[in-house]
A = this chain, B = another copy of it.
């Protein structure tokens, strides 16, 4: 192939900046899952309660009243936060206890916003 052929094969319109590669599909999905878990006001409240807890954890029995939701609904929201890696869950007798693990959120933001 000659250089003239190479030039002829190149795109004829380049309006703006040179192409930049986005992050990969799998990584983008991982980051989106973390953000999506917090993309709901109830889960923002639940996460904020747990992360603000002085003891470093909260019983599900203490989460229902502040957010005004039933325990099954709270447990559903908490499962999404657990699945996203934003909290851990430990069952002790009758109650589940949740502790915050904000690492994935901080890592996601650091990756995106270069912080």
Copies of the protein in its oligomer = 2
Which residues of B are found within 8 Å of A66, using beta-carbon distances?
Answer: 19-22
Q: Determine whether the beta carbon of A52 is less than 8 Å from that of B20.
A: yes
Dominant secondary structure of chain A at its interface with chain B: helix
CB within 8 A of A67: which of B22, B33, B61, B109?
Answer: B22
- Using a CB–CB cutoff of 8 Å, the interface residues on chain A facing chain B are 15-17, 19-23, 25, 28-29, 31-33, 35-49, 51-55, 58-59, 61-62, 65-67, 94-95, 102, 105-106, 109, 111-115
6 further A-B contacts with Cβ under 8 Å, apart from A16-B59, A20-B62, A35-B36, are: A19-B62, A19-B66, A22-B45, A28-B45, A32-B44, A106-B109
